[in-house]
Amino acid sequence: MRCFARGRRSAAALAAGLLMAAGAAIVLPVSPAQALNNGVARTPPMGWNSWNTFGCNINETLIRQMADAIVNSGMRDLGYKYVVVDDCWMNSTRDAQGNLQANPSRFPSGMKALGDYLHARGLLFGIYQAPLDRTCAQYFGSYPGATGAQGHEVQDARQFAAWGVDYLKYDWCSPSGTINDQVARFAIMRDALAATGRPIVYSINSNSIHAKTGPQRNWGDVANIWRTTEDITNAWNTGQTNGYPMGIQNIINVNVPLAGYAAPGSFNDPDMMEVGRGGMNDTEMRSHFAMWAIMASPLIAGNDIRNMDAATQTILKNQNLIAINQDTLGRQATQVSFDGTRRILAKPLANGDVAVALFNQGGSTTTISTTAAAIGKSGSSFTLRDAWTNATSTTTGAISASVPAHGTVVYRVSGSSTSPTATPTPPTPTPPTSPPASGNCQVTYAVSGQWSGGFQGDVTIRNTGTSAINGWTLRWSFANGQQLNQAWNTSYTQSGTQVTATNVAYNGAISPGASVSFGFIASWTGSNTTPTAFTLNGSPCALG
Ligand code: GLA
């Protein structure tokens, strides 16, 4: 929601457009080592956030009532633990020592007391702040002050820890700054939170009134959860690609191809839920929840928990879907197939089961079919549990359902075994024709996402030598027809098939044993084989 009019940037972010391209999305899981390893969000966080329903109109009585309702409705015991106080909780000025303060008329008992209230009820405490000079409401002038964290990061992190904060939502909300600026600044708060010693879920948003950088990289090195889109609204389809405001279908289009980034400790965040807020029919509300669940998205309710109708409770309290979402493998469903109407997603689960979503994006009822083999199960006898009806059925392999317009049928498929082909695989890299070169560095090159006409590459350079590398330039040759269009954490040129990637200001030095990573989006025609030879500062670099 917005409580204020705001000019929006055009939604023409190149990467989002590429990621939206029709066709099957194939995304590999990243190495879990890249995920933020701060001990929290090992499964997607669940809870409630004040913004979608209340915007700036919040106070401590409201938050306490909501906390009580979360407990009394049974939602806490189903996993909805984080109660997140969004924008507009703060006083418009810091105190004489530069500390953030609660707005004294809205939160007269103070934020520590609110945290205590939540903790006493078995809940966890979330709060909002912004990395630049102003929060989003302050940016738009709908709330007074300029109390952003810039220059106060360590102080604010300590303040949050002292208040008992368990979750920080950190919201860029400015058109300025490159993606590299964002990475660097978000990392300052990541490190400040870590330095407090308190486990705090770190939730970031890089997209508000900014070029949509959320889908452009794997932010798992920076945050536990990261918004992939502009703000959600309670509508099925607003026609946006990635611009304000986003409907459920629009968000799904952006979020599905990013599946490979999800891992315990780091998840794509398609925004707080609109379940129970009107604007959609029951089928659409169910699809919204089912797709968030299978996409391993944070399940942060945004409705008024004090006044939920039965249909809303049925959705938010669906234990089959919550179990799929909270599965300890921490995988986001990958796309099995998509014909423009029928989208099939599969999520491998820790016990060998696979959850499959049959999602009808079209405007009329249709039959959607797949097979156990296509979703990574092998064998000849399976049980399907329907996540909505809880009914079970058996099959020798066919998985099929009649699905209403905008509906989603979810089955948990068990039996026989999970084949090693559970995850669709990208093009097989051509093996090197000569032994890897040796030297003082090692390169890993991964295609972390691919769609029709484009792919995303993630590159890591490790210093395997004994002295520091001060400034780096990595070169490789693309296959014919591959063209690098956009990159982050590096500056690049491409001449013919020759690509040159050079460090940016903040990541030029690589100490012995350390590594730096960068990523890019490229288009391709013809061959999509991966490069096999790299040089770093003119010398061969081993391919890891
Ligand atoms: C941005 C965020 C929203 C909310 C508001 C608060 O728009 O994306 O989720 O936090 O700011 O002002």
Find out whether the beta carbon of 138 lies less than 6 Å from any atom of ligand 1: no
C-alpha dist (Å) from residue 416 to 20, 74, 382: 35, 35, 7
Q: How confident is the model at residue 350 (pLDDT cuts 50, 70, 90)?
A: very high
Q: Mean per-residue pLDDT for 222-243?
A: 98
Does the pLDDT value for residue 497 go beyond 80? Answer: yes
Residue 35 scores a pLDDT above 70: yes
First and final CA of the chain: distance in angstroms?
Answer: 46
In this prediction, residue 15 has a pLDDT band, given cuts at 50, 70 and 90, of very low
pLDDT surpasses 80 at 227: yes
Whether residue 205 has its Cβ less than 6 Å from ligand 1: yes
272 CA: nearest ligand 1 atom: 9
| pLDDT given for residue 419 in this prediction | 55
Query: What does the pLDDT read at residue 189?
Result: 98
Q: Is 2 within 8 Å of 162 (Cβ atoms)?
A: no
pLDDT at residue 23 above 60? no
Q: What is the mean pLDDT of residues 482-496?
A: 82
Nearest Cα neighbor of 280 from 237, 251, 315 is 237
Report the range of poorest mean pLDDT among 15-29, 76-90, 196-210, 410-424.
Answer: 15-29
Q: Distance, CA 248 to ligand 1 centroid (Å)? A: 17
Angle between helices 248-255 and 282-294 (to 10 degrees): 20
Residue 136 in contact with ligand 1 by CB distance below 6 A = yes
d(CA 161, CA 116) in angstroms, rounded, equals: 12
Instruction: Report which secondary-structure segment, H or E, holds 342.
Output: strand 342-348
Contact between 315 and 275 (Cβ < 8 Å): yes
Q: What is the model's pLDDT at position 450?
A: 65
Q: 39-78: per-residue pLDDT in tens?
A: 999 999 999 999 999 999 999 999 999 999 999 999 999 9
Pocket perturbation via mutation, ligand 1, pick of 3, 138, 205 by most ligand atoms within 8 A of CB: 205
Residue nearest atom 9 in ligand 1 by C-alpha distance: 231
Q: Report whether residue 232 contacts ligand 1, using a CB cutoff of 6 Å.
A: no
Please tell me the predicted confidence (pLDDT) of residue 446: 86
For a ligand 1 pocket test, name from 143, 231, 246 the mutation site with the most ligand atoms within 8 angstroms of its C-beta: 231
> Is 171 a catalytic site residue?
yes
- Mean pLDDT, residues 325-342: 97
According to DSSP, the β-strands at 441-451 and 454-463 are: antiparallel
Residue 452: both structure tokens together? 């029709």
Which atom of ligand 1 lies closest to the CA of 52? 9
Atom of ligand 1 nearest to the CA of 231: 8
- C-beta separation of 176 from 194 below 8 A: no
Task: Indicate the residue type of 511.
Answer: S
Gap from CA of 538 to ligand 1 centroid (Å) = 46
Classify the phi-psi angles of 352: left when phi > 0, otherwise alpha if psi is within -120 to 50, otherwise beta: left
Q: What does the pLDDT average to over 123-150?
A: 98
Proportion of the chain above pLDDT 90, given as a percent? 74
For residue 143, the ligand 1 atom closest to its alpha carbon is: 12
Q: What is the mean pLDDT of residues 17-41?
A: 53
Whats the size of the chain, residue-wise? 544
Report the residue among 86, 169, 233 best suited for mutation to probe ligand 1: largest number of ligand atoms under 8 A from its CB: 86
| Separation of CA 349 and ligand 1 centre (Å) | 32
* 416 CA to centre of own chain: 32
Q: Residue 407, exposed/middle/buried by CB under 10 A (0-12, 13-18, 19+)? A: buried
C-alpha of residue 198 to centroid of ligand 1, in Å: 25
**Three-class secondary structure of residue 313 per DSSP:** helix
DSSP bridge partners of 458: 446, 519
* Atom of ligand 1 lying closest to residue 173 CA: 1
State yes or no: pLDDT of 183 exceeds 60.
Answer: yes
pLDDT at 511: 81
pLDDT at 434 over 60: no
- CA torsion 451-296-285-171 (nearest 10°) is -90
Catalytic entry in 86, 156, 166, 171: 171
What is the C-alpha separation between 271 and 425, in angstroms, rounded?
A: 28
pLDDT band at 3 (very low <50, low <70, confident <90, very high): low
Q: With 80 as the cut, is the pLDDT of residue 93 above it? A: yes
- State the closest ligand 1 atom to the C-alpha of 136, by its place in the atom list counted from 1: 12
Task: Please state, in angstroms and as integers, the Cα–Cα distance from residue 356 to each residue in 328, 370, 417, 491, following that order.
Answer: 17, 9, 15, 40
pLDDT, tens digit, for every residue of 186-196? 999 999 999 99
Distance 460 CA to ligand 1 centre (A): 33
Least confident of 2-11, 135-144, 389-398, 534-543: 2-11
User: Ligand 1 centre from 1 Cα, in Å?
Assistant: 8
DSSP state of 403: E
The neighbouring-strand residues paired with 487 are: 520
Query: H or E element: which one contains 455?
Result: strand 454-463
Quick one: which atom of ligand 1 is closest to the CA of 140? 12
Average pLDDT along the chain: 89
**Ligand 1 close to Cβ of residue 51 (< 6 A):** yes
What pLDDT does 471 receive? 87
**Mean pLDDT of the region 123-133:** 98
- Structure confidence at residue 417 (pLDDT): 77
Query: What's the pLDDT at 251?
Result: 98
Is pLDDT above 80 for 2? no
Q: Do 263 and 32 meet the contact criterion of CB atoms below 8 Å apart? A: yes
Centre of ligand 1 from the C-alpha of residue 87, in Å: 7
Q: What is the mean pLDDT of residues 152-171?
A: 98
CB-ligand 1 contact for 86 (6 Å cutoff): yes
Q: What's the gap in Å between 380 CA and the centre of ligand 1?
A: 49
The pLDDT value given to residue 418 = 67
Task: Read off the pLDDT band of 525 (50, 70, 90).
Answer: confident
pLDDT over threshold 70, residue 465: yes
Which residues are registered as beta bridge partners of 378?
417
Q: Which of 231, 269, 271, 304 is catalytic?
A: 231
Tell me the residue type at 347.
K
Identity at 497, one-letter amino acid code = T
Query: What is the Å distance from ligand 1's center to 136 Cα?
Result: 6
With a 6 Å cutoff on the Cβ, whether 87 touches ligand 1 is yes
173 lines ligand 1 (CB under 6 A): yes
